[in-house]
Amino acid sequence: MTIEIVGFDDDRLEAGASLVAARYGTELVQKPLLSRRYQHAAETIPFLHDLRNEGPGVAALEDGRLIGFILGMVSMFKGVYTAYVPDFGHGTDTLNSRNVYRDMYAQLAARWVGSGCFTHNISIMAHHRQAIDAFHSMGFGMINIDALRDFSPGPDLPPKIEVRRAGRRDLEVLMSPETKLKRHLASSPIFIPSLPNPEMQRSVEEQLLDSDQPIWIASHEGAPVGFIATEYTGRGPVLARSDGGVLSLVGAFVEPDARSLRGRFGFA
């Protein structure tokens, strides 16, 4: 049967949310630690509704029935206009998902490029092989992985390592590893540009004052050697990070000479 690619409109929100919920339910079987909340379409509709207002989208129809869609937003990322499709911004209901994704992306990408947006990112659930294969076949690589684990303790800290929560007095201590982290991400093989950011110090200071964004410092023999920045997310960029019971690690750096000191950062 002929598949038609059309614009995504509000009348297709419910059907789109059902596709997302079904995909999430399949992922939940593989990863039981995921919140069970988003296997229900009623919980995913608000995400799609908000995303619908952020930018254009396309829908794949077969005999008038929605069998796939892609919704994305355009914003500044590392100094360039970037189109981003979160994991709840796409879905399919067909054994031919790979080709449906390719056809949908071809039309949506033309609109993005026509408006001057040449960088495109998409988040895909880990076991959605047809979607991964489809976007790899069109030249997409990998920039980020979100992993999930429970709060069970790791190994004990090695001797002479202290971990504590950072406070406002640690602002200057944190600026050095924050800068080193950005330089590391700008190097091979990652190549994320490290652009000047006059607001970086203010941003770190705001994190230190925010109880929902705790930062932890590790010291060895009294000298700071690393940090982990965290946040409690009520609605993250992907569904796995959107539940209120999830603590996200959003930044980390350990001095090269200290990386052989095996242990864990603790949380309290």
| CB of 88 closer than 8 Å to CB of 44 | yes
Q: How far is CA 130 from CA 35, 91, 146, 154, in A?
A: 23, 11, 19, 35
Per-residue DSSP letter, 17: H
pTM of the model: 0.85
> Residue 149 CB: number of other CB atoms within 10 A?
7
Element (H, E) at 103: helix 97-114
**Predicted local confidence at residue 52, as pLDDT:** 94
Measured CA to CA, the distance from residue 155 to residue 262 in angstroms comes to 9
The pLDDT score that the predictor gives to residue 195 is 75
Q: Mean pLDDT for each 10-residue chunk of the chain (268 residues)?
A: 90 96 95 93 94 93 96 88 96 93 97 94 95 96 88 79 92 92 88 80 89 91 92 78 84 90 51
Peptide bond connecting 214 to the previous residue in cis, omega within 30 degrees of 0: no
Domains of the chain: 3-137 (3.40.630.30), 161-258 (3.40.630.30)
